Amino acid sequence: MHLLPLLLYAAAATAYIAHFAWRDPRVGRLATGLVAGGVLAHTFLIGMQTVQAGHAPLVGTSAAISAFVWLLGLSYLYIELTSDERSMGVFVSVLLVGLDIIPALDPAVTPRPPVLQSPLFTIHVMSLLFAYASFALACVLGVTYALLFKEIKAKQLGFFYARLPPLASLDLMNSRAITVGWMFLTIGVLVGAVWAWQVKGSPSPDPRVQAMSLADPKILVALVSWGIYSFALFARRAAGWTGRRAAYLSGIAFAVVLLNFVLVGYFLTASHNF
């Protein structure tokens, strides 16, 4: 059961690659159906884990990555079904496969310790995961913008020009994705600060609670990510950083998010390794 979403995402990635190359509508519909099946299977898996554990599986890096993959797949499906645009599916599906390997290899649900049973913890985690899903979409939009821009600049209107939406549409969707992500990131950071203040003020024997400070890499890099995305929004509106600059910045910012989400979450944090 744990491998089923991964297998469906992998099949969807194969179909999206074929659709991107050949532009066959039937292959495109098959790709959409496969990623929808992957999201449905993933939903069932998360539901079963919730029933088994008695709480939403949000504790631990593997569980958080699984929830992120589910939210990213759900968000992408919404965009595709409302815009009837499948060109980004090849990039999103490859990202889904790459990240879902981690929870597929480590499917165990970590029990939620008493310190994490506050509703603020759930709001904190879900807000950040939704923000990261939005930033992942913004990164994909930035990559597609850069590929199309390079082709247009070289005056070789061929492979990407025939398959991707116009530059203006990609830039607008990138802006919206970053704005939505920044809103949820801000909520997640603020709620996390309130929750950390509450648990640090309570008598807890867990040393991870006492390690919650700006010196912890997980918290520090999260604040750096918030600063980068805040700058991206400010630069777009105040300095006219649209188009290619915004595309590159969204890619760099999401690289920082992935660094914090995977590498720091697994190996470097002293407070967020529940």
b (16+ CB within 10 A) / e for 171-184: bebbbebbebbbeb
Per-residue confidence (pLDDT) for residue 223, from 0 to 100: 95
Q: What is the pLDDT of residue 272?
A: 65
Cβ(15)–Cβ(24) below 8 Å: no
At residue 93, the pLDDT reads 96
> pTM of the full predicted structure?
0.91
Residues 6+ apart with CB under 8 A from 115: 199, 204, 206, 209
| Domain boundaries, given as residue ranges, for the chain | 1-111, 113-274
For tokens 């003020």, the residue is 201
Which percentage of the chain shows pLDDT scores above 70? 93
Residue that has been written with the tokens 């930035």 in this structure: 142
CA distances from 143 to 187, 199, 247 (A): 27, 40, 7
232 with 253: CB under 8 angstroms? yes
Question: Residue 205 has what pLDDT?
Answer: 58
> In this model, does residue 193 exceed pLDDT 80?
yes
**What is the token pair recorded at 161?**
């020009």
Overall average pLDDT of the 236-265 stretch: 92
For residues 34 and 9, give the distance between their C-alpha atoms in angstroms, rounded to a whole number.
7
Measured CA to CA, the distance from residue 114 to residue 92 in angstroms comes to 36
Report pLDDT digits (tens) over 135-188: 999 999 999 999 999 999 988 887 888 889 999 999 999 999 999 999 999 999
- Is pLDDT larger for residue 111 or for residue 99? 99
pLDDT value for 155: 83
Q: How far apart are CA 60 and CA 215, in angstroms?
A: 20
Evaluate the CA torsion angle 124, 129, 132, 133 in order and state its sign: negative
Token pair recorded at residue 219:
């918290």
